[in-house]
Structure 1
Amino acid sequence: MIEILQWSTLATCGLIAAARVPSAIRGENRSLFYIFGLMTVAILLSIEAPYVAIDQALGGINLANLLLRFIIFAAIYFVGIRVTRGFGADSAYRRITGRAGMVVLLVISLALMVLFFMMDTVGSSAGLAGPSVRNQHNAVLAQYYGAAGRAYPGYVALVLLPAMVRAVRSRLPLLVRVAAGLLALGGVAIGISLLFPFVPPGWGAIKFIVNYTAVLCYVLGLALIWAARVHNNRVSPAKRTYTEK
């Protein structure tokens, strides 16, 4: 079931990213292409076979996992910019792109790198499954490393959540409200992921479901916003709306 969820999510992201290529070449809403492209790479690196192949090429010390974390950071950052601009959430935009947001990103990034290089990471293993059980030292550091990796996406998701809830309750077009609802659900899933340290070891499948629910909700939500923009341009090409920002 987990492999089906992984590969189907990868296919969904990849197809949407490919569909955005012509628009990106024309210079239209390139941020959406960046988001879908980054998410596609992130999902690819979360699957065992491609992860191991890529990490072996990088030296076999799980640098691919560190790369994955920063790709996720970049994707969620672009999501934050796209969503806050699109829905006119100026205060949320400032909390993501302003000084506070940059300090949060810098501190978490530094913590992530320090924790990674303090571990014995030899031996390619998706999700650091191998190194995390090698010894007690690694096990403790892996917990902190995972928490740091979830911290920045959690920050952005929680910043965006109030704006998405307001959009759902507004009188915006139905398609946009559904998109906002999916983005809100994705934010809730990311928020739940912050509680992973308290999840019993035997519930590992729950972590996968929560993570991929978040990804799918964000991807589908952004795709619906794109669809709403296309629909709006066909109905009223002269009228500029939130979907074009």
Structure 2
Amino acid sequence: MIEILQWTTLAVCGLVAVARIPEALKGRNTSLFYIFALMALAILLSIEKPYVAIDQAMGGINMANLLLRFVIFGAIFFLGIRISKAFGATGAYRLITGRTGRLALLIFSALVVVVFLLMDTAGSSAGLVSVSGKDPRNYALVEYYGAAGRAYPAFVSLVLLPAMTRAVAGRLPVLVRIAAGLLGLGGVAIAFSLLFPVIPPELGALEFVVNYTAVLCFVLGLALIWAARIRQDKRAGSTSSFTEK
């Protein structure tokens, strides 16, 4: 079940990224291409067989997991910019791109790297499962590492959530309000991931469901915004709308 969800999510992200290539080559809405491409790469690095193959090529010390964390940071950064500009959330945009956002990115990035270096990371293992099982020290460090990796995406998601709530309750086109609802749900799922350390081991599969629900909600939400822009352009014969900001 989990593997099907992983490959399905990868296929959706990959197909949307490929569909965005023509527009990106023309310099139009390139942030969308970056978001979908980075999401696809993140999903690929989350699947065991591709992960192990990539990590073995990088030395077999789980550097692929560290790469995964920064790919996610990049995707969520571009996502935050795209969504805040699309919905006119200037306050959220300033928080994400300004001093507060840059400081948050720097702190959480540094924490991820420091904790990674403290772990015994030898032996490629998707999700650092084998690293966590080595001893109590590594188990604790993997938990801290995961928390640091989830903190920045949660920060961006919570910053965007008020704007998504206003958009859903507003008078925007139906497609856009649905998109805002999906984006907001994705943000809630990411924020919920901060609770992963208190989830009992027997409910570990819930973590995968939450993570991939967030990704799918973001992808579908952005795709609906894209569809709404195309629909509006066809009706108005204009290339200027809030979805292009």
Identify which range, 232-241 or 78-87, moves more after superposition. Answer: 232-241
The answer for the alignment partner of 1:177 in structure 2 is 177
The answer for the alignment partner of 2:84 in structure 1 is 84
Under a length normalisation based on structure 2, what TM-score does the superposition of the two structures give? 0.99
- 1:102-117 equivalence runs, <5 A: 102-117=102-117
- Displacement of 1:244 in angstroms is 1.3
Report the 3-state secondary structure (helix = DSSP H, G, I; strand = E; otherwise coil) of the residue aligned with 2:83: helix
- Displacement of 1:239 in angstroms is 6.0
Letter matched to residue 237 of structure 1: G
* Cα distance in 2, alignment partners of residues 133 and 94 from structure 1: 41
The answer for the alignment partner of 2:139 in structure 1 is 139
The answer for the alignment partner of 2:25 in structure 1 is 25
Structure 1 residue runs of 4+, over 4 Å off?
none
Q: Once the two structures are superposed, what CA deviation does each residue of 1:112-142 show, in whole Å capped at 9, x if it has no partner?
A: 0000000000000001011011011100100
Alpha-carbon RMSD: 0.6
The answer for the alignment partner of 2:189 in structure 1 is 189
Q: Once the two structures are superposed, what CA deviation does each residue of 1:45-73 show, in whole Å capped at 9, x if it has no partner?
A: 00000000000000000000000000000
* Cα distance in 2, alignment partners of residues 78 and 169 from structure 1: 25
* Cα distance in 2, alignment partners of residues 69 and 57 from structure 1: 18
- Displacement of 1:157 in angstroms is 0.3
Runs (5+) with no aligned partner, structure 2:
none
* Cα distance in 2, alignment partners of residues 40 and 50 from structure 1: 12
- Displacement of 1:240 in angstroms is 2.0
- 1:224-239 equivalence runs, <5 A: 224-238=224-238
Q: Once the two structures are superposed, what CA deviation does each residue of 1:146-201 show, in whole Å capped at 9, x if it has no partner?
A: 00000000000000000000000000000000000000000010011000010001
Under a length normalisation based on structure 1, what TM-score does the superposition of the two structures give? 0.99
* Cα distance in 1, alignment partners of residues 199 and 185 from structure 2: 20
Letter matched to residue 25 of structure 2: I
- Displacement of 1:241 in angstroms is 1.5
Runs (5+) with no aligned partner, structure 1:
none
The answer for the alignment partner of 1:40 in structure 2 is 40
* Cα distance in 2, alignment partners of residues 232 and 25 from structure 1: 22
The percentage of aligned residue pairs carrying the same residue is 65
The answer for the alignment partner of 2:52 in structure 1 is 52
The answer for the alignment partner of 2:157 in structure 1 is 157
* Cα distance in 1, alignment partners of residues 198 and 163 from structure 2: 28
